[in-house]
Amino acid sequence: MDKRGVSLTLLLFELVIVGIVAYMMGGILNKSASTEYFSNSIIAEDAALFVDALYAAPGDASMVYQTDLTGKKIVFKDNYIAIDTVKAGYISSGSLLTGDFSDISTLAFQKSGDQVQMNKNKIYGEVVTTLNCIQSDSKGTFGTTKYLLDPMYGGTDTGPVFGSYKASDFTAQIAYSFSIQNSDFKTNLEQTRPVTGTLASAVTVADRLKKAEKKDMIIGIDIGSDITDKTKKAYAYIASGSAKEAQSAELACRMLNELSSLLNLESVSIIKVSSTKAATDEKYKMLSTDSVAVMLEIGNIYYPADILDKSTVIGKGLYIGVTKYFEAK
């Protein structure tokens, strides 16, 4: 072999060595980054861990945390969603929720750069989140929250925005407005359903948070039991406030579809808050004309029978604020 052949052989050998070293270093770095990310995480193999851990064990009358999630992340494998929790568990009806929302809980999507990618529906956005609690008792009086009390969010210093009104005073008619063409949604069209206090309050808080936090859209999720049919099934009431009603409704439902697959939701109904009475009745002023509400039936969450016998709605609100959003091309 001549000198030229030897030189080429040595060069090729060096390139192979460099490649092997680079590959090993890359693996070490990736492993380090992965270890750092997952070091304080709970890996959810399925949605059951999320439901049981975040909202407490079904059938647990004492309402204690099944799992202490303080400071933990819940990461769903093969999804772009991670949930950061500071505190988790039930907040019973009538309890007072105080303090800055950042001290309560935060849900955050796993980010790619400054954007969020929901791979299933190809929706991107910059997302920040807050937690809140909305609930009512059998008389329809509302538990108080920071966002209903604080004047900064449109409330009063002396009591909840709704005062002592019964939930029935805030009943409004809502109509299914459109269909999302997705097999994961079982959408019912051309129907109406009354909006009682829980949903109306979720809409209110979503609207107020949108203004106060200067977000383009707020998606609020309020988990509670439906006391009207006396079943043990739980329902999630979702309200979104956005400057562009139709677009926000569709986006909200498509984003919630990503969550619904994780939560194993049995059915989804898409509804729109009517603005008919909102424009003329003082009691309905909290329902803005650009608010959208969605009701989800959650088939795999069950409340203890003794709680339902008291006709008490036990809720936990989760508000997702979207600062920028667009559909990926």
Write out the chain's pLDDT in tens, 329 residues. 565 665 667 667 677 676 665 555 444 333 333 333 333 333 333 333 333 333 322 322 222 223 333 444 443 333 333 333 322 222 222 222 222 222 222 222 222 222 333 333 333 332 222 222 223 332 222 322 333 333 333 333 333 333 322 222 222 222 112 222 222 222 222 222 333 334 444 444 455 545 554 555 554 444 443 333 333 333 444 444 443 343 444 444 444 444 444 333 333 333 333 332 333 333 333 333 333 444 333 333 333 333 333 333 333 333 333 333 333 33
Residues 28 and 170 in one domain: no
| Measured distance CA(145)–CA(149) in Å, rounded | 6
In this predicted structure, what is the pLDDT of residue 87?
A: 27
Same domain, 93 and 151: yes
86 in the same domain as 15: no
What pLDDT does 19 receive? 65
The pLDDT score that the predictor gives to residue 105 is 26
Residues 116 and 17 placed together within one structural domain of the fold = no
* Count of residues making up the chain: 329
The helix (H) or strand (E) run that includes residue 268 is strand 267-273
Instruction: Convert the pLDDT of each residue in 84-115 to its tens digit.
Output: 332 222 222 222 222 222 222 222 222 222 23
Same domain, 72 and 108: yes
Whether 135 and 153 share a structural domain: yes
Rounded-to-integer distance, Cα 155 and Cα 40, Å: 37
Q: Based on the fold, state whether residues 6 and 150 are members of the same structural domain.
A: no
d(C-alpha 221, C-alpha 240), whole Å: 9
pLDDT of residue 211: 54
Exposed (0-12), middle (13-18) or buried (19+): which is 90, by Cβ within 10 Å? buried
Clarify whether residues 17 and 95 are in a common domain: no
**Together in a domain, 48 and 130:** yes
Please tell me whether residues 27 and 120 are part of one structural domain: no
Same domain assignment for residues 14 and 79: no
Q: Are 221 and 213 in contact (CB under 8 A)?
A: no
Total tally of structural domains belonging to the chain: 2
d(CA 80, CA 39): 17
Domain boundaries, position 14: 1-39
Burial state string for 163-195 with b = 16 or more CB within 10 A and e = fewer than 16: eeeebebbbbebebbeebeeeebeeeeeeeeeb
**Residue 52: per-residue pLDDT:** 32
Indicate if 91 and 70 belong to the same structural domain: yes
